[in-house]
Structure 1
Amino acid sequence: MMRKDTCEIYCYDEEKVNRVQQKMEKEDISGVVKMFKVLADENRAKIVLSLSQEGELCVCDVANIIDSSVATTSHHLRMLSNMGLAKYRKEGKLVFYSLDDEHVKQLLLLASTHQKELISNGK
């Protein structure tokens, strides 16, 4: 059976379309897209989840958590930091990372909750 999930007409509510398009022109969605691209990597998502659970972790501990080299882990953490998702502090030879703010934690927790609901609903 073929799915019929597309419109068979060009535009149903042109006024609504124009209103939304005008609002979109005022929004800078490119930063949001970049943020989600950074979070789309499985290792970086694991890092954000780990930091959301533990608060702060040393780079070498994060490397062990995601089973990766310190160099690769540092690269991932730097990307998260450059996007404003994580921050770091240096203590001697150690570097500790934490999430930049509560919003980052909430993003991942919402996505995780949504995924669990999909699985429990058989999707």
Structure 2
Amino acid sequence: MSADTQGCGYRPDSSFVELAVEVFGMLADATRVRIILALQEASELSVNSLADAVGKSPAAVSQHLAKLRLARIVSTRQDGQRVFYRLDNEHASRLVADAIFQAEHSLGGTPRHHHADRASE
């Protein structure tokens, strides 16, 4: 096993396992997954834009964003009175993508992400 693998806590006895479970718990909500997907597409959005993108009220989206911000999944930038949200790093986005790919596998057949033309989606 490489030193890099050991250093990042990629072992069954790692102290990061419990924190990873908390991350999965944070992502175990359809609205939060949709927020992450919207931010992945647009890179930075306001609460109102995110609310439109995920089909929820701005108040509900704001509550989800507060949780995602506490978990350091999203970060903010203020421009006057407006606050813009963006993904803090690529990891949550990759987790969501992999979860969706896994969901596609559960449907049987050849998942869409295995098709050569998926880049046009």
Same fold (TM over 0.5): yes
Listed as ranges, the gaps of 5+ residues in structure 1 are 1-21
For the residues of structure 1 that align with 2:56 and 2:96, how far apart are their CA atoms? 21
CA contact (8 A) 2:38 2:54 kept: no
Residue 107 (structure 1) shift:
1.0
TM-score (norm 2): 0.75
Moved over 2 A (4+): none
**Paired position in structure 1 for 2:117:** none
Unpaired stretches in structure 2, ≥5 consecutive residues = 1-10, 111-121
> For 2:12 and 2:67, how far apart are their aligned partners in 1?
30
Decide whether aligned partners of structure 1 residues 88 and 112 sit closer, same or farther in structure 2, where only a CA change above 3 A counts. Answer: same
Q: Tell me the C-alpha RMSD between the 2 structures.
A: 1.9
**Which deviations, in whole Å up to 9, do the C-alpha atoms of 1:17-71 show, x marking residues without a partner?**
xxxxx952x4232211111111101100110111111111111110111222211
Q: Tell me which amino acid in the other structure corresponds to 1:87.
A: S
In structure 2, the residue matched to 1:62 is 50
TM-score, normalised to structure 1, is 0.73
Q: Which residue of 1 aligns with 2:71?
A: 83
| Residues paired across the two proteins, number | 100
Match of residue 34 from structure 2: 46
Identity of aligned residues (%): 30
**Amino acid of the structure 1 residue aligned with 2:108:** S
SS state of the match for residue 78, structure 1? helix
